């Protein structure tokens, strides 16, 4: 029987990599991928907690989370495509006109 700590540790590692990616990446697609890592780290937590005690609720939440993540990725990719169309470039630092 596997210990829950293994799953939680994996989730922490994934989450940390995701945060690192979001913070350091300048490429919009890279950021989106990193966000996916964050989301999946959380999903892993949900499934793990569900399996080790909380019951089916954790699994159901994980399914919801996956569905939400998919829609979020669709929106995010749409933004990336539009960004590319307008400036032939998907470096997010350049897209900061709204602050001025």
Point out which span in 1-9, 15-23, 43-51, 58-66 binds other proteins (CB under 8 A).
15-23
**Identified binder of other proteins from the candidate list 1, 75, 86, 97, rule CB under 8 A:** 97
Q: Does 22 bind other proteins (CB under 8 A)?
A: yes
Task: Judge contact between 45 and 1, C-beta under 8 A.
Answer: no
Please count the other Cβ atoms lying within 10 Å of the Cβ belonging to residue 98.
5
Q: Does 3 bind other proteins (CB under 8 A)?
A: no
Number of residues that bind other proteins (CB under 8 A): 15
C-beta of 60 vs 81, nearer to other proteins:
81
Task: Judge contact between 26 and 91, C-beta under 8 A.
Answer: yes
Dist CA 10 CA 38 (whole Å): 12
């Amino acid at each position: 029987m596997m210990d829950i700590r293994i799953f939680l540790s994996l989730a922490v590692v994934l989450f940390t990599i995701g945060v690192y990616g979001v913070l350091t990446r300048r490429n919009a697609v890279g950021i989106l991928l990193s966000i996916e890592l964050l989301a999946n780290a959380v999903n892993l937590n949900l499934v793990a907690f569900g399996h080790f005690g909380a019951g089916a609720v954790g699994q159901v939440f994980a399914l919801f989370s996956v569905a939400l993540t998919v829609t979020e990725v669709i929106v995010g990719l749409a933004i990336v495509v539009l960004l590319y169309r307008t400036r032939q470039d998907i470096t997010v630092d350049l897209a900061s006109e709204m602050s001025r």
